[in-house]
Amino acid sequence: MNIKPLSNHLFIESIEEEKKTQSGIVLPENVEKEKPVKGKIVAVGTGKINEKGERIPMSVKVGDMVLFKKYGPDEIEIEGKKYLVGDEDDILAILEF
């Protein structure tokens, strides 16, 4: 299935990080709620159109690893797989390795 977001929307596949301290203590889910979340971009729109009618290109592309706001994107399920759908403003940073 192909997903084609409109405007400046994007689909993110969330990457769950292990919630463990360096000493091996497992942290409950309610700890670090405001911490940004990692994910992989799986689909991007073509970009927003500005007041002059010009398309503003997206800063992210498919395959980028990103940090995004925990409560910014909405969660949806397509064919049994969960995705986060948000817009470019929900992205905090692109991770480069």
- Per residue in 45-72, pLDDT (tens digit) is 999 999 999 999 999 999 999 999 888 8
What is the reported pLDDT for 30? 60
Q: What are phi and psi of 88, to 5 degrees?
A: -60, -30
Residue 13 near residue 91, CB atoms below 8 Å:
no
DSSP string, 3-16: ----TTEEEEEEEP
Nearest to 82 by CA among 12, 10, 3, 20: 12
Q: In terms of DSSP bridges, do strands 55-56 and 65-68 run parallel, antiparallel, or are they unpaired?
A: unpaired
Q: Give me the long-range contacts of 52-60 (CB less than 8 A, separation at least 24).
A: 56/8, 58/8, 58/10, 58/88, 59/88, 59/91, 59/94, 60/10, 60/88, 60/91, 60/94
Q: Name all domains of the chain by residue range, CATH numbers in brackets.
A: 1-15+36-97 (2.30.33.40)
pTM for the full predicted model: 0.77
pLDDT range class, residue 93, cuts 50, 70, 90:
very high
Residue type, 64: D
pLDDT in tens, 9-59: 999 998 876 666 667 776 666 655 555 689 999 999 999 999 999 999 999
